[in-house]
Amino acid sequence: MTGISPTDSVMAIRNAILQKNAALRDIAQTGATAPAAGAQDTAKPGAFTEALNSALQQVNGLQNQAGEAAAAFERGDTTDIAAVMLAKQQASVSFEATLQVRNKLLSAYKDIMSMPV
């Protein structure tokens, strides 16, 4: 398993969204057309997409591991039910976190699209 957990990846994406949202809110309140000096985005283009893809791949990997652990238990290859249940719960929690991030992204998109120009 890599050094970054799916939860850390999701939290990093969440923090990036919150920072962008705060910057957009500041722009809307001041009436400026561009971010103020010092508030420029230093992240490379596509960093958000890469982080999201990485998080989704990690969630998929956890779900695959959980499925393999359950299948091994059903075949009788392993008798450690605790490890199987732990793998299932890790996959479930990471999926739920990803689902919540997706819901927040859709909500933010809908809010932005409904803003008057």
pLDDT in tens, 69-106: 999 999 999 888 999 999 999 999 999 999 999 999 99
- For residue 17, the model assigns a pLDDT of 80
pLDDT at 43 over 80: no
pLDDT at 21 over 80: no
pLDDT of 38 > 80? The answer is: no
Query: At 1, is the pLDDT very low, low, confident or very high (cuts 50, 70, 90)?
Result: very low
Give how many domains the chain has, as a whole number.
1
Does the structure show a pLDDT above 50 at 35?
A: no
Domain assignment present for 85: yes
- The amino acid at residue 40 is Q
Q: Is residue 1 in a domain?
A: no
Q: How far is CA 61 from CA 1, 5, 58, 64, in A?
A: 9, 11, 5, 5
Mean pLDDT across 10-37: 69
pTM of the predicted protein model: 0.58
Range of the domain at 53: 6-113
CA dist., res. 112 & res. 106, Å (int): 10
**Residue 35 contacts residue 41 (beta carbons within 8 Å):** yes
Whether the CB-CB separation of 97 and 7 falls below 8 Å is answered with yes
